[in-house]
Amino acid sequence: MAPGSAPADPTRMHAFTDETEAIVDLVLDYSRRRMLSEDTPLDKPFSPAELNRLAGRTIDEQGIGARRALAIFEHVLAPACITTDHPQYLSFIPIAPTNAASAFDLVVSASAIYGGSWLEGSGAVHAENEVLRWLSNEFGLPEGSGGVFVQGGTLGNLSALVAAREAARARLAETDPAASAPRWKVVCSAEAHSSIASAARVMDVDIVKVSPGPDGQLRGNAVRDALEEHGASVFAVVATGGSTNFGIVDDVASIAALKDDYDFWLHIDGAYGLAAMLSPLARDRFEGVGRADSVIVDPHKWLFAPFDACALIYRDPNRGRAAHTQHAEYLDTLTETTEWSPSDYAIHLTRRPRGLPMWFSLATYGGGAYREAIGSSLQLAQDIAAEIRRRPGFSLVRDPQLSVVVFERDGWTREQYAAWSAKLLDDQLAFVTPSSHLGRPNTRFAIVNPLTTFEQLVAILDTME
């Protein structure tokens, strides 16, 4: 503090003052305009130099004030972020939160709820658990299944596999206490999501990658061969319930049937695609999911929640708790009870109740609205696939199973796809990035937003003529 200056008020940032009221009004006004906007542009990334020039210095000792900070965000920083809930955002796996879910995300932050323990957040945990029970029922899992909402599919897959290995260790100790643990292994498709390999590196276990069929599906006969070869060292088999690149659903039924003859943990990575089980148009593709020991699905993908949320569900939640409960003297008051504390079921302790936006949306609109919205994306994928088949010079790489449509413009090089993609974004027509399969370049439509239309997709195809 400079000599002679007035002392700073240490309560300024937290006290209820006119300044606080003005900040809240500013933020709520912006949020309202953004959530009710019908013409939010796609936007696109800026260069570091451009952002430095346009934003200027925003952090200093005195602060620049809420009005200026929000103006910089609205007019400089936000336009430098691609709008992931735009109907023509068709790359990776988009996000399409419902109006209710987005609005309630503000409530979650404003309410300062801690979602890690029943003691501190029982109301929030109760609501999240209702969503998890609803999902468990949709997936055919038994009464008593449960779990937790975590950050995303990578953390969900890792947490499930840690629980699987812990269960295998406990089983080995029970059956042969003198036996030394093997070099543990996970069996999965060669086309499994990259997070499975990432989890294996973190856990220091091996991955056994099994070749899927020509259609991309992993089947039980191929998994059986891996189980025979690697024996008791296999503690988990991962089946994919809708791959990110193609939307392929493994033959879960034939893989699950192997549990009659082999002792392994079956995990379903359904981060993107498992939501399709809600629609009668796709439910029959997921036969066998009800036999899984754990599943994940990301509500921020095809269940219309905002970033970030992954539902991790255990067939026997006690196995998750045995693997993940943290022990410390200051935590004894939480861990020495039977109350449901979400921090016990994954690799985390502190957590926000990230399942609440989906709870509010699901409670508001009902499950039927979700089925209709998911079904519309499934149907649109079939419709645009038929259009691609019809067009000379276009080829489908695979027939779509869910809502990802992968196709080629015959003869195009990687450079042509890249230039076309960049022009689409520059023209603010769409965000569609190049992809590849088996060394051949292609592109894809990932359709999850109910506001995406057939006409919009056709207009994108027209730009490739």
Q: List pLDDT tens digits, range 200-216.
A: 999 999 999 999 999 99
Axis crossing angle, helix 356-365 with helix 99-110, rounded to the nearest 10: 140
Q: What is the pLDDT of residues 89-116, one digit of tens each?
A: 999 999 999 999 999 999 999 999 999 9
Q: Which region, left, alpha or beta, applies to residue 242 given φ > 0 means left and ψ of -120 to 50 means alpha?
A: left
pLDDT at 3 over 60: no
**Biggest alpha carbon distance in the chain?**
82
Confidence of residue 332 (pLDDT cuts 50, 70, 90): low
CB burial class (10 A; 0-12, 13-18, 19+) of residue 59?
exposed
Instruction: Calculate what percentage of the chain has a pLDDT beyond 70.
Output: 97
Beta strands in 270-344 (DSSP E): 294-297, 310-314
What local confidence, expressed as pLDDT, does residue 2 receive?
52
Q: Which spans in 176-262 are helix H?
A: 194-203, 220-230, 252-256
Confidence of residue 328 (pLDDT cuts 50, 70, 90): confident
User: What is 422-444 written as a DSSP string?
Assistant: HHHHHTTS-B--EEEETTEEEEE
Look at 13-27, 108-122, 288-302, 323-337 and tell me which has the smallest mean pLDDT: 323-337
Confidence of residue 177 (pLDDT cuts 50, 70, 90): confident
Structure tokens that stand for 275 in this block: 């939501």
Rounded mean pLDDT, 147-162: 98
Q: What is the pLDDT of residues 405-445, one digit of tens each?
A: 999 999 999 999 999 999 999 999 999 999 999 999 999 99
Cα distance between residue 25 and residue 345, in whole Å:
38
What local confidence, expressed as pLDDT, does residue 356 receive?
98
What local confidence, expressed as pLDDT, does residue 425 receive?
98
Q: Which residues contact 375 (CB under 8 A, 6 or more apart)?
A: 279, 280, 281
Which residue in 305, 307, 227 sits closest to 264, CA to CA?
Answer: 227
Rounded mean pLDDT, 164-168: 97
pLDDT at 178 over 60: yes
CB burial class (10 A; 0-12, 13-18, 19+) of residue 266?
buried
Tokens 């079921």 correspond to 345
Could you give the domains of the chain? 11-40+45-81 (no CATH), 104-365 (3.40.640.10), 367-462 (3.90.1150.10)
Beta strands in 79-195 (DSSP E): 146-150, 185-189
pLDDT at 336 over 80: no
pLDDT at 157 over 70: yes
